[in-house]
Amino acid sequence: MTCSEFQRDLEPFLDNEAGLATALEMQRHIEQCPACESFFADRLAVRRCLQNPELRYRPAADLQDQIHQMLLNENGIRPHSSMFDRFFRFRVPTWLLPAVAGAAAVLILWAGSITFSPRVSSINGSGLAEQLVSNHLRSLVGNHLMDVVSTDQHTVKPWFAGKLSFSPPVFDFSDQGFKLIGGRLDYLGKNEIAAIVYQHRQHYINLFVWPAQPGQTQEIMTEKEGYNLYGWTANGLTLWAVTDAEPETLKAFVELQKRTEK
């Protein structure tokens, strides 16, 4: 992979849209190219700043009703009409189109964030394994494993509070050879998930966590491109551990995690 190819593929890579083969090539390239490592670090820093929840605009709860009422008054729509009738049946004056378009975009994003809960676990099978390995590789590129660096579970777990709609399990297994070293926000598709990071000798383990779908109980152990993965559910959460350590090492880590979760 050349530097121009790396820079061309970086945005899809950061958006979780690059395939596993591309992710592997990018990891190899950045290990050999300080210029692209710096380029990657700069882009990642900007993205992390933009992902800060404090920078996101959250409209007031009554904004939707206010805009609906404004449109009703402007166009004389009957109050008992459905929301879709109200939205599609009136004719918007040309001068009002930019304002309505902006208001509609805000409403769609706001209503979508409230009405629909993300179903990130709908990605399944080999597609899910490939995505998680790609995420694991991305975290290793340029040593960008963690947003919060700590061996204290009472520091890492609270860090996720307010950043996610769920509370991921965070434990330290240093005495058993699996040292907690931090955590970060990651993405599966376009949805935020938790990644808790452990170290076992020279190997890193990413424990990815997100809300489980109802009735999801399947346990899976698989391998993808030399990386081992173990997925299970517990306490309403889906958990997947990914590492390049041996399968028996991964199983030992998962068993520790399961025993502590009970």
| Domain extent listing, the chain | 63-115, 120-261
pLDDT at 229 over 90: yes
Structure confidence at residue 11 (pLDDT)? 78
What does the pLDDT average to over 54-74? Answer: 70
Rounded to the nearest angstrom, the gap between the alpha carbon of residue 19 and the centroid of all alpha carbons in its chain is 17
Average pLDDT over residues 175-190: 91
Identify the weakest region by mean pLDDT among 32-46, 104-118, 156-170.
Answer: 104-118
Three-state DSSP at 244 gives coil
CB 230 within 8 A of CB 221: yes
3-state percent helix, strand, coil for the chain, nearest multiple of 5: 50, 20, 25
Q: List alpha helices for 152-192, DSSP H.
A: 153-160
Evaluate whether 78 touches 27 at the Cβ level (below 8 Å).
no
pLDDT, position 65: 74
Q: Which of 242, 241, 233 is nearest to 261 (CA)?
A: 233
**Backbone CA torsion sign across 14, 17, 20, 24:** negative
Mean pLDDT, rounded, for 38-46 = 76
Which class is 120-261 in CATH? alpha beta
CA 168, CA 161: separation in Å to the nearest integer? 9
- pLDDT tens string 207-227: 999 999 876 667 899 998 889
Residue 166 scores a pLDDT above 90: yes
Using pLDDT thresholds of 50, 70 and 90, give the confidence band for residue 137. confident
CB within 8 Å of 30: residues ≥ 6 apart: 6, 36, 37, 40, 141, 142
pLDDT at 205 over 80: yes
Least confident of 113-117, 180-184, 239-243: 113-117
Confidence of residue 251 (pLDDT cuts 50, 70, 90): very high
Specify the higher pLDDT residue, 191 or 14. Answer: 191
Minimum mean pLDDT range among 23-27, 58-62, 112-116 = 112-116
Question: What's the Cα-to-Cα distance from 119 to each of 65, 76, 99, 123, 168, rounded to whole Å?
Answer: 28, 39, 32, 8, 16
Q: Looking up tokens 């551990």, which residue turns up? A: 241
Per-residue confidence band for 152, with pLDDT thresholds at 50, 70 and 90: very high
Contact 209, 193 (CB under 8 A): yes
pLDDT at residue 55 greater than cutoff 90: no
pTM, full prediction: 0.59
- Residue 114's pLDDT is 38
b/e per residue, 177-204, with b = 16+ CB within 10 A?
ebbbbbbbbbbbeebbbbbbbbbbeeeb
**Mean pLDDT to the nearest integer, 126-140:** 84
